[in-house]
Structure 1
Amino acid sequence: MIQIENLTKRYGRVAAVDGVTFSVPAGSVTGFLGPNGAGKSTVMRMLTGLTPPTSGRATVLGKDYRDLVNPGSRVGVMLDASAQHPGRTGREALTLAALTVGVPRTRVDDVLRLVGLTDDEAGRRVRTYSLGMRQRLGLAGAFLGEPEVLVLDEPANGLDPQGIHWMRTLLRDFADRGGAVLLSSHLLHEVQAVADDIVVIGRGRIVAQGSMAELVAGSGSRARSEDDGALAVALEAAGHTATLTPDGVVVDVEPADLGRVALAAGIVVTDLRPHGSQGLEELFLRLTADDSREVAA
């Protein structure tokens, strides 16, 4: 349902997006991951016709977004939940969107119920909304036209744990009924819980893509030791890619191989295991280490 082929966006000599190719089929959720500034939002803006590509093509439902007849009725988009007029009520914002899309006003009540905004909350000015309420309003707008495809940028931002669980169930149900979801999020545990496929982007290029099971299964080992810094240096010297994280050293080898390197270097390992439930987070940290603004202490 979404097809992105060799998509590139340049600003002068800077390539914000460089030759990105991936697809989002019907009945699936694709997690679109990357550090800040990696190019995720630019890809989504090109997909939805807000930014023209320098080269390549992004299509949804077989066409460029701008060529779809009444795209709001077929593609639900939420790129910035704060992009609502602060002086309007939530209901007014949705009613205007309904008139634009051409759906009955009764649909406004349907989506308000869907996202859990009460009549009282819908009657309040958007300027009084919390971040989580703005997110729910943005999701209501995305679902207004009963879409076949969802394109969502950080939809869980500001939601409490119950809200995040609700959103995950909502998106999973949408995909299971045949919809396609492109989901950008920094909440990696939630992405791991809902996504079928993953695309990781760094410095405008795809650094990994595949099914969740494939990527997590191939993510190596994690170890803690009496000197994690020395262990990382020893692993790098042995030709492996090692990354220091708050939970230890992440490396692209099996636990037995990591143990042999530690033994040869005389480093005492206190915890050694394959990637478990945090595999996606550790995979992300390793793949995007060059783009990180943080420096490991």
Structure 2
Amino acid sequence: MITINGLTKKYGAHAAVDDVTFTARAGRVTGFLGPNGAGKSTCMRMMVGLTPPTSGSATILEHNYTDLPNPGRHVGVLLDASAQHPGRTGREVLALGALTMGLPSSRVDELLEVVGLTAVEAKRQVRNYSLGMRQRLGIALALLGDPQVLILDEPANGLDPAGIRWMRSLLRGFADEGGTVLLSSHLLHEIEVVADDLVVIGRGRIVAQGEKSQLLAAAGTSVTSADNAKLAQALAHKQIQVIPAGATLHVDAEPIVVGQTALEQQIVLTELTSAGASGLEDMFLQLTAADAREGVSA
């Protein structure tokens, strides 16, 4: 289990992470979402002692990460697949990890097989690896000590569709066996498929958290009409929040309320769906609209 309580990191007057509190539970995959610059990576770095917090705490298995004896045997971490030494071979990277953790060398071969790196690939220097191969090596290193907790930042970057499916199965199996997974990714569909719980962060603060099914069910309504401006004005007059997103309006109300309002104003609707039916992407865009950058997709 990972417990985050009031975690804050300030750089001068700027709060990169601002009073973040959540729990990633054992036996579950927790998806950690947010736009670029929202504070996800800073949070994860504070969890594993790489960045000191300004205030608050982050504990893993009820201990600070730096207080865990032989932490790799308890917590598997992948924050940056490109951080591995480029002059070492994949096998050497894992062999050094095994030596540091006091593991038998046979564990290296086990993990190479688990992540699908062949004997030939294991003998290559990391500088000659593709990004997908580096991700597989990083996941192998995170799993090397047979940990109870995984903290992974964008582990699917560079993986092909087969690799993404493999990783999804791996993480689901890890959680189903009682492990704790905290997973950050921009691949919203993959988070939607594998995650049990969601934590959404924007501008350093949590904007939503809870079970995935409940959050998606409460995501509101997506609507497109012949006169979005008039419909938005009518909904706002009823104190209903409306967030424009291109040709669509995201509305914090049930579809029946939106439809009734359109009928009252004699506005033709061209699309009306529960935002939960449109999946995680719509919910994410609605919750993080204040952080959106023009011309940049989620």
Query: Shorter-chain TM-score: which interval?
Result: over 0.9
Residues 223-232 or 24-33, more deviating: 223-232
The 5-angstrom pairing of residues 18-33 of structure 1 reads 18-33=18-33
Please state how far the C-alpha of 1:256 moved relative to its aligned partner: 1.4
Q: 2:172 matched to 1:172?
A: yes
Q: Provide the rounded CA distance (Å) in 2 between the counterparts of 1:295 and 1:267.
A: 30
Question: What's 2:14 paired with?
Answer: 14
Q: Provide the rounded CA distance (Å) in 2 between the counterparts of 1:109 and 1:173.
A: 20
Q: 2:219 matched to 1:219?
A: yes
Please state how far the C-alpha of 1:293 moved relative to its aligned partner: 1.2
**Structure 2 letter corresponding to 1:256:** I
The 5-angstrom pairing of residues 1-297 of structure 1 reads 1-228=1-228, 231-245=231-245, 248-294=248-294
Please state how far the C-alpha of 1:187 moved relative to its aligned partner: 1.0
SS in 2 for 1:56: strand
| 8 Å Cα contact 1:242/1:286 also seen in 2 | no
| 8 Å Cα contact 2:219/2:276 also seen in 1 | no
Please state how far the C-alpha of 1:166 moved relative to its aligned partner: 1.0
Structure 2: give runs of 5+ residues left out of the alignment: none
Change (3 A) 1:268 1:137: same
SS in 2 for 1:87: coil
| 8 Å Cα contact 2:218/2:276 also seen in 1 | no
**Structure 2 letter corresponding to 1:134:** R
Structure 1: give runs of 5+ residues left out of the alignment: none
* RMSD over aligned Cα atoms: 1.7
Please state how far the C-alpha of 1:247 moved relative to its aligned partner: 7.2
1:157-186 C-alpha deviation (Å, 9 max, x unpaired): 111111111111100100000100011111
Q: Provide the rounded CA distance (Å) in 2 between the counterparts of 1:295 and 1:265.
A: 33
| TM-score scaled by length of structure 2 | 0.94
Number of equivalent positions: 296
| 8 Å Cα contact 1:235/1:241 also seen in 2 | yes
Q: Provide the rounded CA distance (Å) in 2 between the counterparts of 1:228 and 1:127.
A: 52
**Structure 2 letter corresponding to 1:25:** R
Residues 10-19 or 217-226, more deviating: 217-226
1:52-88 C-alpha deviation (Å, 9 max, x unpaired): 1111110001110000000011100000011011121
Q: Provide the rounded CA distance (Å) in 2 between the counterparts of 1:185 and 1:234.
A: 37
| TM-score scaled by length of structure 1 | 0.94
- Identical pairs, percent: 63
